[in-house]
Structure 1
Amino acid sequence: MLTTQAVKADRKLLWLGTGVLLGLILWFMPTPAGLTVAGQHALAVVIFTVFLWVSGAVPTSVGSLMMIGIVLCLMPNEVPATKFLSFWTQDTMWFVLVSFIFSVVIQKSGLGNRLAIYVFSLRNLLVIDIALLVLNALFSVVGMAASFPKLVLLMPLVVSMAALSGMPKEDPYVRHVALMINVLANQTGLLVYSGFVLNPALGPLGGFQLDYTKWLQWFFPPALVYTLISFVVLYLLFRPARGANGFDVKVIEEKRRELGPLSRKEQKAIVWLVVAVVLWATGGMTGIPAGFAAVLVAAMLMLPGIGVVNFKEFVQATDWNTVFMLMGVLSIGALGATGFAKWLWGHILPSQLPGNPMVALVLISFLVELLHIPLGSLGTTQALAVPSLAAYGPTVGMSSELLSIVAYMSIVGQFFFVYQNAALVAGQGFGLWKPKDILKFGAAMFVVTPLVMGVVLLPWWLHMGWIR
Structure 2
Amino acid sequence: MSEIKGNLESDDKQPPIKKKSKMEESMKKWGIPLAITVGLLLFFMPTPEGMSAQAQSSIAIFTGALILWITTPIPIYLTSIMAILLLPLVGAVKDQSVAFGTLGYDVIWLMVSAFILTAAMIKSNLGRRLSLWMVTKFGKTPKTTLFLLIVINFILAFFVPSTTARATLMVPICLILLEVYKAIPGKSNLGKTMMLQGVQADAIATSGVMTATSGNIIAVGFINDQAGGNIGYMDWLLASMPTAIVTMLITFFVGLKLFSFKDETNFTSAMDTLKDELKKLGSFSLDEKKAVAIFIFTVVLWATGDYHKAWFGFEISTEQTAVLSALLCLLPRVGLLTWKETNIKWELMIFAAGAYAVGNALDKSKGAEWIIGKVVDALGLEQMNHALVYIVVVFLSMYSHLIFTSKTVRVTILIPAFIALAKTLGLDPVPLALAAAMTMTYTITLPPHSKVNTIYFGTGYFTVLDQVKYAVVTCFIGACVISLAIFTWFKVIGI
Match of 1:406 in 2: 439
In the alignment, does 2:317 pair up with 1:289? yes
Is this contact kept in 2: 1:191–1:223, CA < 8 A? Answer: no
TM-score normalised by length of structure 1 = 0.64
Match of 1:255 in 2: 277
Return closer, same or farther for 1:423/1:21 CA change in 2, 3 Å cut-off.
closer
Deviation at 1:403, TM superposition (A): 4.9
Match of 2:176 in 1: 153
State the alpha-carbon separation in 2 of the partners of residues 401 and 95 from structure 1. 30
Return closer, same or farther for 1:155/1:219 CA change in 2, 3 Å cut-off.
farther
Structure 1: 5+ residue stretches without partners: 161-174, 194-198, 209-215, 240-244, 373-379, 414-419, 430-434
Return closer, same or farther for 1:31/1:371 CA change in 2, 3 Å cut-off.
same
- One-letter amino acid of the structure 2 residue matched with residue 158 of structure 1: Y
In the alignment, does 2:479 pair up with 1:450? yes
Is this contact kept in 1: 2:178–2:191, CA < 8 A? Answer: yes
Return closer, same or farther for 1:34/1:223 CA change in 2, 3 Å cut-off.
same
State the alpha-carbon separation in 1 of the partners of residues 380 and 438 from structure 2. 22
Match of 1:100 in 2: 115
- One-letter amino acid of the structure 2 residue matched with residue 302 of structure 1: L
Return closer, same or farther for 1:351/1:405 CA change in 2, 3 Å cut-off.
same
Match of 1:308 in 2: 336
TM-score normalised by length of structure 2 = 0.62
Return closer, same or farther for 1:424/1:27 CA change in 2, 3 Å cut-off.
closer
Return closer, same or farther for 1:370/1:259 CA change in 2, 3 Å cut-off.
same
Match of 2:364 among 323, 329, 337: 337
Is this contact kept in 1: 2:84–2:357, CA < 8 A? Answer: no
* Matched ranges for 1:66-465 at <5 A: 66-75=82-91, 79-81=94-96, 91-122=106-137, 131-134=148-151, 144-145=167-168, 149-158=172-181, 181-182=194-195, 184-190=197-203, 228-233=245-250, 247=268, 250-284=272-306, 285=309, 286-314=314-342, 316-318=343-345, 320-321=347-348, 324-329=351-356, 331-349=358-376, 350-352=379-381, 360=389, 362-367=391-396, 383=405, 387=409, 390-397=412-419, 403=436, 406-409=439-442, 411=444, 445=474, 448-456=477-485
Is this contact kept in 1: 2:368–2:404, CA < 8 A? Answer: no
RMSD: 5.3
Deviation at 1:61, TM superposition (A): 2.3
Deviation at 1:254, TM superposition (A): 2.5
Return closer, same or farther for 1:219/1:424 CA change in 2, 3 Å cut-off.
farther
Structure 2: 5+ residue stretches without partners: 1-19, 184-188, 207-211, 222-232, 258-265, 420-428, 447-452
Return closer, same or farther for 1:46/1:98 CA change in 2, 3 Å cut-off.
same
Is this contact kept in 2: 1:365–1:407, CA < 8 A? Answer: no
Deviation at 1:298, TM superposition (A): 1.4
Larger RCO (CA under 8 A, 6+ residues apart): 2
- SS of structure 2 residue aligned to 1:155: helix
- One-letter amino acid of the structure 2 residue matched with residue 337 of structure 1: K
Return closer, same or farther for 1:138/1:100 CA change in 2, 3 Å cut-off.
farther
Match of 1:211 in 2: none
State the alpha-carbon separation in 2 of the partners of residues 40 and 391 from structure 1. 20
Deviation at 1:50, TM superposition (A): 1.7
- SS of structure 2 residue aligned to 1:145: helix
Deviation at 1:307, TM superposition (A): 1.1
- One-letter amino acid of the structure 2 residue matched with residue 247 of structure 1: T
State the alpha-carbon separation in 2 of the partners of residues 41 and 443 from structure 1. 26
In the alignment, does 2:55 pair up with 1:39? yes
- One-letter amino acid of the structure 2 residue matched with residue 73 of structure 1: L
Deviation at 1:393, TM superposition (A): 2.8
- One-letter amino acid of the structure 1 residue matched with residue 381 of structure 2: Q
Return closer, same or farther for 1:460/1:271 CA change in 2, 3 Å cut-off.
farther
State the alpha-carbon separation in 1 of the partners of residues 103 and 414 from structure 2. 26
Is this contact kept in 1: 2:381–2:389, CA < 8 A? Answer: no
Deviation at 1:268, TM superposition (A): 0.7
State the alpha-carbon separation in 2 of the partners of residues 259 and 459 from structure 1. 53
State the alpha-carbon separation in 2 of the partners of residues 32 and 62 from structure 1. 30
Of the structure 1 ranges 226-235 and 63-72, higher mean CA displacement relative to structure 2 is found in: 226-235
Is this contact kept in 1: 2:103–2:350, CA < 8 A? Answer: no
Return closer, same or farther for 1:296/1:358 CA change in 2, 3 Å cut-off.
farther
Q: Matched residues, percent identical?
A: 19
Return closer, same or farther for 1:351/1:391 CA change in 2, 3 Å cut-off.
farther
Deviation at 1:269, TM superposition (A): 0.9
Deviation at 1:320, TM superposition (A): 3.1
Q: Deviations along 1:366-416, whole A, 9 cap, x unmatched?
A: 4577789xxxxxxx6663998567523311217999857614416359xxx
Q: Deviations along 1:300-353, whole A, 9 cap, x unmatched?
A: 211111112221222x23363255325423542343232221222234342427
- SS of structure 2 residue aligned to 1:121: helix
Deviation at 1:13, TM superposition (A): 8.1
The number of aligned residues is: 401
Return closer, same or farther for 1:178/1:394 CA change in 2, 3 Å cut-off.
same
Match of 1:63 in 2: 79
- SS of structure 2 residue aligned to 1:305: coil
Deviation at 1:271, TM superposition (A): 0.9
